Amino acid sequence: MIFRTKYCRLLLCFLLLLILAQCSPQKKTEEKEPAASKTITPIPKESDEVPKSPTLAAEPNIKDQKNTKASKKKKDNIYALYQQKIAKFKFDAFRVKEKYSGRAATIDLVSHEDARLYQKTFTRGLAAGSNFAGKYTLVSVPCGDKCQDNYIIETQTGKVIDKVQSSTGVSFRPDSRLLIVNPPELTTNNQVCQNCEPIIYVLENGLIYKAKLLR
C-alpha cells in the first residue's frame, strides 16, 4: 500500500513537470549577423615637395652677340685682306705649254732626306701622273694638326725638288707654275689659325721661289 502511494506521487510530479515544460515560452535563438566590413578610405597625404618655380627663359646676352658680330666682321676683313694680297697672281699668267705624259720614274731616294721615309707615298703619287706645272707631281703628306708637307717631285726623273708646308692646304693646277699655300677660304677661321696667311710660290727653272705679296 505504501509503495503504491509513493508511485502515484512520483507519477503525479512527473506529469506536473511535463505540463509546466510545455506551457513555458521557448527561447528563440537569435542568429548573429556578421558585422558588415567597413571600407576605410585613406586620407590623401599632403606632398612634402616644395612646388617648383616656373623656369624663366634665359635672356640673350647682348655682350656675347656684339662679340660674335665683331668676330665675324673681323674674320671677313681678314678674308678680304688676304684676297687682296693675292689678287694679282693668276694661274693663267704662269701657264706652261708642255705636259709630261710619259711613264713615271722610280723615286730618287737620295734626292731628299724624306724620300726614303715616304717612298711608298711618293711612288703612288708618281703613278698617278703629273699634276703640277706640266711635268711635276705634287704629293701632300699630313704632318700634324693643321699641317701638311707638300713635296714637289719631277715625274720624269723621280727627284724630289723641294718641300713647302701649309696649314689649310694648297691650290695648284697641272698647267700652271703658280702654287698658292693656304688659299683664303671663308670657312677658315683666320683669327685662331696662326699660320694660315696665304703664301705664293712660283716654279722657275726647276726651283720654287716665294713671291712677294701686295702690301
Domain ranges of the chain: 90-210
Q: How far apart are CA 135 and CA 105, in angstroms?
A: 12
- Band (pLDDT 50/70/90 cuts) for residue 59 is low
pTM above 0.75, yes or no: no
Q: How far apart are CA 121 and CA 61, in angstroms?
A: 51
Locate the DSSP E strands across the chain.
Answer: 136-144, 147-154, 160-166, 170-172, 178-181, 199-204, 207-210
Q: How far apart are CA 108 and CA 198, in angstroms?
A: 30
Q: How far apart are CA 204 and CA 215, in angstroms?
A: 23
Q: How far apart are CA 215 and CA 76, in angstroms?
A: 18
Return the C-alpha cell found at 59.
635672356
- Which residues 6+ apart lie within 8 Å of 175 measured at CB? 91, 95, 96, 99, 134
Nearest CA-CA partner of 201 in 167, 183, 177: 177
What pLDDT digit, counting tens, does each position of 143-171 carry?
A: 998 899 999 999 999 999 999 999 999 99
- Band (pLDDT 50/70/90 cuts) for residue 29 is very low
What pLDDT digit, counting tens, does each position of 100-133 carry?
A: 999 999 999 999 999 999 999 999 999 999 999 9
What pLDDT digit, counting tens, does each position of 78-99 carry?
A: 778 788 878 889 999 999 999 9
pLDDT averaged over every residue in the chain = 79
pLDDT of residue 73: 55
Return the C-alpha cell found at 109.
731616294
